[in-house]
Amino acid sequence: MTMRTSLASWQALAEHAQEMQQQHMSDLFSQDQARFNKFSIQLPNMLLDYSKNLVTSATMQKLIALANECDITTWRDKMFQGERINRTEDRAVLHTALRNREKMPLMLDGENITDSVESALAKMKAFSEQVRHGLWKGYSGKRITDVVNIGVGGSNLGPQMVTEALKQYSDGSVNVHYVSNVDGTQIANVLRPLDPEKVLFIVSSKTFTTTETMTNAKTAVKWLVSSSFDEKAVAKHFVAVSANKDNAMEFGIAQENIFDMWDWVGGRFSLWSAIGLPIAIDLGFDKFIELLEGAHEIDQHFCQAPLAHNAPVILALLSVWNCTFLGAKSQAILPYDQSLHMLCAYMQQAEMESNGKSVTWQGNDVDYPTVPSIWGGLGINGQHAFYQYLHQSNNVVPADFIGSVKSVTPVKGHHQTLMSNFFAQTQALMSGVDEQQVKADLKAKGRTQQYIDKVAPHKVHKGNRPTNSILMQRISPRTLGSLIALYEHKIFVQGIVLQICSFDQWGVELGKGLANDIQKELDENKVNKNHDSSTRGLIHYYLNCV
Ligand code: F6P
């Protein structure tokens, strides 16, 4: 397997980066009025403008050459066809099969998984409609008014981000709540106003071993039984989504109330499976299908578009360019649509749990920066919180601005203001303002030379800060499905180019194991003397104060 850094295209990019770091984007725009047309991609429901990156046509050609030398299309086809590209766990990676709306047969280990997906969807449809139409009754015969999803990571972030984003599409027939944190405060706050006779719990856990989720689920059972005084009530108020049916049944979930998921779906890519039950219950099954259809549109684009016009490929290559070749250490996700207020949290797991690694497929340490840390938040709020950093710190932070042409909830005079900030901020980050202009502005405002000399250096914005602008027609189940799939495939391409396994997550195991050991010490009030002095000191302090 060729080491990436020995590839001719990699070396050409490293050399090209030296040249490009002497360039300023505002000059590139001045030199080419067609820059926007050259460096943007029009998709059915969204526009990707990547012209505000420090790239030229030569840069893009070199990046595409790298993609070709990394056999992106071959690896893409391997993924869609179910090859076990999750090498360390020896698993296929087939979240795309969950939204294969043509229902093409796909054989995996002798099974046509399209059939399995379709029967899982049919079960989701039946169940979500039963709950939404008041046909699923609690132990006292009352309809369900509230659903509480208990899960964490991919068993929480996907469904919660989607239902938060699509609130305007909910008819409110059932209230959906989420419990992910093992801090009892969260489940206490969620359960406090609820009526046990009318609550349905969905215990979402691919492994059905996650401590946080199991702890919350047990608390939920105690809460229910303490009011129903009947263990049998669990069968009417608990369902599970898991790949581990045995553990779910051992917990006490009736077999017929367990929704399958499979080991060929990674947790962070699982919202398209029965992990998406809260979405189907909140919005109705038809809208859940629209979400799948939106994702499928991007799957088709990813499989069919030439690399140079392939949005996920371009986003991935730009992230590699900005991080590995130009040295950016983080990347901001900045939605300018209130409905996407949880997008960044979702993207943090999707990107950083996938590619936050530093060992190649062969197990060698990588000798190049891999992916940036992902952070961000609602853009407008950020403008009054961290945009000072984006504009004037000496750390360049590439940013994805995500907005919509039409608001889902139009309020007169608001959307224009919102979007004027979107356009202004990406322009300001690109162009900046130099000292000459700053001084001229201050002079025109009648400032004294002394004031100008004092303040001008502090008002210079160097600019040359790269941004991608993603403009969606309007947030809807379909466009949101497309947006999420766009980033899923971007993450995939990044992993292939960087030669890291994007689909395991060994980095979460050490902390989990230590926590389980320390929990025993806390429970038994006995501190392991082999801990470092800090951990020992902290635990002693805690135990002495408990
Ligand atoms: O964070 C580690 C992780 O395994 C994630 O990959 C996963 O989404 C989450 O924990 C929850 O896992 P489970 O769905 O098995 O409870």
Q: Is residue 460 part of a domain?
A: no
Residues 141 and 191 in one domain: yes
Residues 166 and 63 in one domain: no
Q: Is residue 444 part of a domain?
A: no
**For ligand 1, is residue 152 a contact (CB within 6 Å)?**
yes
Among residues 164, 351, 353, 488, which one is catalytic?
Answer: 353
- Residue 520 neighbours by CB under 8 Å, 6+ apart: none
Q: Is residue 162 part of a domain?
A: yes
Residues 50 and 107 in one domain: no
Query: Rounded to 5 degrees, what are φ and ψ at 278?
Result: -60, -30
Residue (of 255, 249, 187, 256) closest to 224 by Cα position: 187
Residues 426 and 309 in one domain: yes
Q: Is residue 90 part of a domain?
A: no
Q: Is residue 89 part of a domain?
A: no
Q: What is the pLDDT of residues 306-323, one digit of tens each?
A: 999 999 999 999 999 999
Is the pLDDT confidence value at 1 over 60? no
Q: What is the pLDDT of residues 36-54, one digit of tens each?
A: 999 999 999 999 999 999 9
Q: What is the pLDDT of residues 98-127, one digit of tens each?
A: 999 999 999 999 999 999 999 999 999 999
Ligand 1 centre to CA of 348 (Å) is 14
Q: Is residue 299 part of a domain?
A: no
Residues 107 and 250 in one domain: yes
Quick one: pLDDT band at residue 2, thresholds 50, 70, 90? Answer: low
**If you take atom 9 of ligand 1, which residue's CA is the nearest one?**
153
- Mean pLDDT over residues 356-368, rounded? 95
Position 330 scores a pLDDT of: 98
CA distance 314 to 60: 9
Phi-psi region of 71 (alpha: psi -120 to 50; beta: other; left: phi over 0): left
CA distance 132 to 172: 9
Q: Is residue 451 part of a domain?
A: no
Q: Is residue 256 part of a domain?
A: yes
Residues 115 and 256 in one domain: yes
Contact by Cβ (8 Å): 287, 278: no
**For ligand 1, is residue 53 a contact (CB within 6 Å)?**
no
Residues 136 and 263 in one domain: yes
Contact by Cβ (8 Å): 221, 202: no
**For ligand 1, is residue 358 a contact (CB within 6 Å)?**
no
**If you take atom 2 of ligand 1, which residue's CA is the nearest one?**
508
**If you take atom 1 of ligand 1, which residue's CA is the nearest one?**
153
Residues 281 and 328 in one domain: no
Per DSSP bridges, beta strands 107-108 and 111-112 are antiparallel
**For ligand 1, is residue 153 a contact (CB within 6 Å)?**
yes
| Residue among 210, 213, 355, 491 to mutate when testing ligand 1 (max atoms within 8 A of CB) | 210
Contact by Cβ (8 Å): 103, 118: yes
**For ligand 1, is residue 155 a contact (CB within 6 Å)?**
yes
Q: What is the pLDDT of residues 117-174, one digit of tens each?
A: 999 999 999 999 999 999 999 999 999 999 999 999 999 999 999 999 999 999 999 9
Q: Last residue of some domain: 290, 318, 338?
A: 290
Residue (of 13, 59, 68) closest to 38 by Cα position: 59
Among residues 512, 520, 526, 540, which one is catalytic?
Answer: 512
Name residue 143's beta-bridge partners. Answer: 137
Residues 149 and 108 in one domain: yes
CA distance 74 to 88: 19
**For ligand 1, is residue 242 a contact (CB within 6 Å)?**
no
Q: Is 488 a catalytic residue?
A: no
**For ligand 1, is residue 267 a contact (CB within 6 Å)?**
yes
Position 546 scores a pLDDT of: 77
CA distance 44 to 362: 39
Q: Is 384 a catalytic residue?
A: yes
Number of domains in the chain: 3
Is the pLDDT confidence value at 9 over 90? yes
Residues 275 and 135 in one domain: yes
Is the pLDDT confidence value at 343 over 60? yes
At 393, is the secondary structure helix, strand, or coil?
coil
Q: Is 520 a catalytic residue?
A: no
Residues 483 and 520 in one domain: no
Residues 201 and 282 in one domain: yes
Where residue 202 sits, what CATH number does that domain have? 3.40.50.10490
Q: Last residue of some domain: 265, 290, 315?
A: 290
- Residue 206 neighbours by CB under 8 Å, 6+ apart: 154, 155, 242, 243, 244, 261, 265, 267, 270, 275
**For ligand 1, is residue 508 a contact (CB within 6 Å)?**
yes
Q: Last residue of some domain: 261, 290, 319?
A: 290
What domain range is 471 assigned to? 4-69+305-431+465-498
**If you take atom 16 of ligand 1, which residue's CA is the nearest one?**
205
Atom of ligand 1 nearest to the CA of 508: 2
Average pLDDT, the chain: 97
**For ligand 1, is residue 415 a contact (CB within 6 Å)?**
no
| Residue among 86, 88, 89, 152 to mutate when testing ligand 1 (max atoms within 8 A of CB) | 152
